[in-house]
Amino acid sequence: MRLFNLATLTHLHLLLNHLPTVGFSLGLGLFFVALAAKSDDLKRTSLIIFFLIGLLTIPTYMSGKAAQQAITGQDGVSEVLIEAHQDAALWAMVFMEITGFTAWLGLWQFRRISRMARWNSPIVLILSILTLAVMTRTANIGGEIRHAEIRETTATEGTVNGGAGWLRTASIASFVNTTSWAWPATETLHFMGLCLLLGVVLAVNLRVLGVMKNVSFAALHKLLPWAILGFGINVITGLLFFVSVPEQYTQNRALQWKILLILLAAANILYFTMFEEAWAVQSGDDAPFKAKIIAASTILLWVGVIYLGRMMPFIGGSF
């Protein structure tokens, strides 16, 4: 069963494209209030918002490619602005994912040492301001694509630049597709990131399920940043695959289900980062039933992600 067709993906993009800007604005405003009030609870809440918005940015960007395919060539649509928008969106996604990673690291520090490291708050603040600026520019260019009445000038080649010359979607796609070693190297890094991610996921969740009961959960909790690093590597390399041949992936039903499972599985890590049930499991202790259910579901979700990734050429018809 195909999860989304091209028209549905376009509607999904219209639904999602406001969430990164609006949601991130709310998170940043809350973070300012938390810093002013010196409230750790508000600070944690804003960090959760940054992390979740970072996850939602992934389907927002990918559905944008479908929207681009749907409207390209239509009357009143500026091709120059479409290209500028996709370049700006690439910048926005990069900044969003870095900010989300740094925000999660702050949550991890709260869990381990009951506070953020001194360097984390200013870095999150700077990154979030830069991210909001890039997201706002991306949204503004996107609105101008179909609405000539809000354009400041007529969009012509060279008048609109959504990103730096060295970070343009077309340039990245050309490099990956024409350089003999680029695709194999990206595949290798993608596999290494998956190994890193899955290794930590299995160790942490199998402990919750009762394996390695002589090890406390707090000891394994130290490994979670490595899992997030592996996830980050996979997001970057997966993005390189996607922008290089988007027509292979946009309507690939295996990829659509894979992204859905990734969002659920990645959001699950918040439970092991923040909640007390798993953290309280000491050496020799048995984890609560709720924690075991979440651990088992997390493993199943990541197994599903791996399966769907391998099945993209067969279920989705890519390559």
Tell me the mean pLDDT in the region 27-49. Answer: 91
At 157 the pLDDT is 45
Question: Are 248 and 319 within 8 A, CB to CB?
Answer: yes
Q: How confident is the model at residue 296 (pLDDT cuts 50, 70, 90)?
A: very high
More confident of the two residues 284 and 239:
239
Beta strands in the chain (DSSP E): none
At 297 the pLDDT is 92
Nearest CA among 210, 191, 187, 188 for reference residue 199: 191
Tell me the mean pLDDT in the region 83-110. Answer: 88
At 2 the pLDDT is 54
Q: Is 80 exceeded by the pLDDT of residue 188?
A: yes
pTM recorded for the entire structure: 0.84
Whose tokens are 């350089």? That residue is: 179
Report the sign of the C-alpha dihedral through residues 264, 287, 217, 296, in that order: negative
What does the domain layout of the chain look like in residue ranges?
1-163, 168-319
At 193 the pLDDT is 93
At 313 the pLDDT is 82
The token pair at 174 is 């050309």
At 167 the pLDDT is 62
Cα–Cα dist 298/139, whole Å: 34
